[in-house]
Chains A and B, each alone.
Chain A
Amino acid sequence: DAGVIQSPRHEVTEMGQEVTLRCKPISGHDYLFWYRQTMMRGLELLIYFNNNVPIDDSGMPEDRFSAKMPNASFSTLKIQPSEPRDSAVYFCASSPLLGIEYGYTFGSGTRLTVV
C-alpha cells in the first residue's frame, strides 16, 4: 500500500486566495482525519470523517475552513479566503478503526505558506 497520500507537498499562496489541500487515505480505512501543526499550538485535530461522513468538526477554526469527503478514497480541505495565520503544516491521517486497534497512519503533510 502506498500509504496516505497528500498533495501538494508545498503550497505558497497570497492572502485572500482559495487553497485546496487533498488527501487519499489508505484503501479500506474507514476513518480520515485532518490535523494542523504549528510551532505555537502543536498538532490540532480539525475534523474527522467516518465512512465519508463528517463526525466532529469542532476543531475547524473558522467558517473560512471547509472539508469534504465525496468518496472513500478522497478528501479535501479548503480555505477561502486564506490568511497569513493559516500558514502551517496540514496533515491527513487514516485509520481502519477509530483509535481501537491499529492507530493512525499519517501522510507526509502539506506545508502551506500564505503571504
Chain B
Amino acid sequence: KQEVTQIPAALSVPEGENLVLNCSFTDSAIYNLQWFRQDPGKGLTSLLLIQSSQREQTSGRLNASLDKSSGRSTLYIAASQPGDSATYLCAVGNNDMRFGAGTRLTVKP
C-alpha cells in the first residue's frame, strides 16, 4: 500500500522567504503526483500536476519537482506572501490517489 509522508508538518516563515516543502512516497510505480492547497474550512485547490514522465512543473512562484527513483517530490515557493498561508497536500496517483497529512504553512507579514 502506498504511504505518503510530508515534512515538515508545520512551517512558519517571515514574508519574502523562499521555502521548500517535502513529500516522500514508498511505491515509485506512480502515474502522477499532484500538489494541492487547502485553506481552512475549504476544499482542495490543485496547484501543480507532475506526470510520471516529467521531472518538474512550474506555475508562477511555485515549482514542483519529482524524483521517482528516490520516491521524493519537493514544492518550492519563492518570495512567500501572507496569502500563501494554507495547508499544502501532496497526493500520489497509482490506481487511486493517496494523500500525505499535509504541511501547514504560515507566512507572517
Query: Which residues of A pack against B, CB within 8 Å?
Result: 33, 35, 42-43, 45, 48, 56, 91, 93, 98-109, 111
Chain B contacts of A102 at CB under 8 A? Answer: 49
In whole angstroms, how far apart are the Cα atoms of A56 and B95 in the complex? 10
B66-102 contact mask (Cβ, 8 Å, vs A): 1 or 0: 0000000000000000000000010101111111111
In the assembled complex, how far is the CB of residue B86 from the closest CB belonging to chain A, in whole angstroms? 14
In whole angstroms, how far apart are the Cα atoms of A108 and B100 in the complex? 19
Query: Which residues of B pack against A, CB within 8 Å?
Result: 30-32, 34, 36, 41-46, 49, 51, 89, 91, 93-102
Chain B contacts of A99 at CB under 8 A? Answer: 30-32, 93-97
Chain B contacts of A103 at CB under 8 A? Answer: 32, 34, 46, 49, 91, 93, 97
Q: Are B46 and A105 in contact (CB under 8 A)?
A: yes
Chain B contacts of A45 at CB under 8 A? Answer: 96-98
In whole angstroms, how far apart are the Cα atoms of A104 and B46 in the complex? 8
Q: Are A101 and B51 in contact (CB under 8 A)?
A: yes
In the assembled complex, how far is the CB of residue B38 from the closest CB belonging to chain A, in whole angstroms? 9
Chain A contacts of B34 at CB under 8 A? Answer: 103-104
In whole angstroms, how far apart are the Cα atoms of A108 and B91 in the complex? 17
Q: Are B102 and A107 in contact (CB under 8 A)?
A: no
Can you give 11 A-B contacts (C-beta < 8 A)?
A33-B97, A35-B99, A43-B89, A93-B44, A98-B31, A99-B30, A99-B95, A103-B46, A104-B46, A104-B91, A108-B43
A42-B101, A45-B96, A48-B96 known; A106+B91 contact, CB < 8 A: no
